[in-house]
DNA sequence: TAAATTTGCTTGCTATTTGCAAGTAAACAA
DNA sequence: TTGTTTACTTGCAAATAGCAAGCAAATTTA
């Protein structure tokens, strides 16, 4: 795994050295907002990530402590990825990307995001709690 | 200028189609948090962006309405870049990247960010007001 | 007023990264 | 025991990034 070299000592630059990429935050989005948790799940997302890029990013995210993987309880050839606290802490970043995107994407149905925006802190706490629960249980549970 | 093709109709994906890159948000950071406003200013930032990449990203940001450029009043061979409202609306995204980066970057001096975090909304409003004032004045003013 | 400098790029070349298609391997199901 | 599911890896072509040099208009300096 290629080590991340930081280009400066700016905290924004530090974050972008990990997240400044077209794919990483989409994988984290899937983990935060959907029940997707496996390689095949992420592969099936609308953006159509290439198999080698997905494998690479999952390695990178795990090597850098954003996610962890466990063998599925039912199928031993299936891996379940879940967020660590470090990954969960990115919820506010992704929420703000969603709010901005929703404002400027003419195609977006804005009602859901508007509701979220009205209680941003509550929404973040809800997501945080749901995902924190998964940290110590091997199997992600549904809604 | 190459047009941005959106990979899905997710608002997060929409944002990342513009911002999912190691450089774009660093240029916007300079415009938001420092008094940098010219090609040469951005070039001098710690991350050492290449000249062709900087030129490309400035074009892209202007073509997509994040920034606008005006000829400097004093020097006619100098361009002054400033944020549009669309760009200013990215302040919350960048703030969250800074908060996350500050939490996980062991080298970061966290005091400034801790203070910011205590009054996030106030800080955003302050920045917003300062930058909004620049939209209708050709010359960015100092602190 | 001529030469040097500042400013904002562009160009050419090489190296790295991405993206697509195909292949592999372990676990599992029929 | 054969086919399928799952999670990758590999090979190759295309796109992007990065480095060094070059260029041109405006401005300053001699």
Whole-number Å distance, CA B78 to C1' C1? Answer: 24
Domains of chain A, first to last: 11-135 (1.10.10.10)
Residues B107-137: tens digit of each pLDDT:
888 899 999 999 999 999 999 999 998 886 6
Residue in B46, B96, B102 nearest the CB of A93: B96
pLDDT average, residue stretch B29-51: 98
Residues A77-105: tens digit of each pLDDT:
999 999 999 999 999 999 999 999 999 99
Residue B107 pLDDT: 87
Whole-number Å distance, CA B122 to C1' C18? Answer: 41
Nearest CA in chain B to A109: B11
CA distance linking residue B128 with residue B112, whole number of Å: 18
Protein-proximal positions, strand C, CB < 7 A? 6-12, 17-23, 25-28
DSSP chain A: -PPPPPSSS-HHHHHHHHH-SSSHHHHHHHHHHSS--SHHHHHTSTT---HHHHHHHHHHHHHTTSEEEEE-SS-TT-EEEEE-HHHHTTHHHHHHHHHHHHHH-TT---HHHHHHHHTHHHHHHHHHHHHHHHHTSSS----
Nearest CA in chain B to A99: B11
Q: State the 10-residue block means of pLDDT for chain A, 143 residues long.
A: 90 98 98 98 98 98 98 95 98 98 90 95 97 72 38
Residue B142 pLDDT: 39
Residues B2-29: tens digit of each pLDDT:
889 999 999 999 999 999 999 999 999 9
Share of chain B above pLDDT 90, in %: 87
Question: What is the longest distance spanned by two Cα atoms in chain A?
Answer: 45
């Amino acid at each position: 795994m290629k080590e991340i070299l930081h280009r400066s000592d700016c905290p924004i630059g530090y974050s972008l050295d990990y997240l400044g990429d077209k794919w990483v935050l989409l994988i984290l989005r899937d983990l935060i907002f959907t029940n997707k948790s496996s390689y095949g799940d992420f592969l099936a997302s609308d953006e159509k990530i290439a198999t080698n890029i997905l494998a690479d990013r999952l390695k990178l995210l795990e090597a850098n402590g954003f996610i962890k993987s466990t063998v599925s309880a039912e199928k031993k050839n299936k891996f379940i990825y879940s967020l660590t606290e470090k990954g969960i802490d990115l919820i506010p970043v992704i929420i703000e990307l969603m709010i901005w995107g929703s404002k400027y994407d003419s195609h977006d149905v804005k009602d859901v995001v508007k509701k979220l925006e009205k209680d941003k802190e509550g929404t973040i706490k809800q997501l945080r709690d749901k995902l924190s629960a998964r940290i110590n249980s091997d199997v992600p549970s549904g809604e």
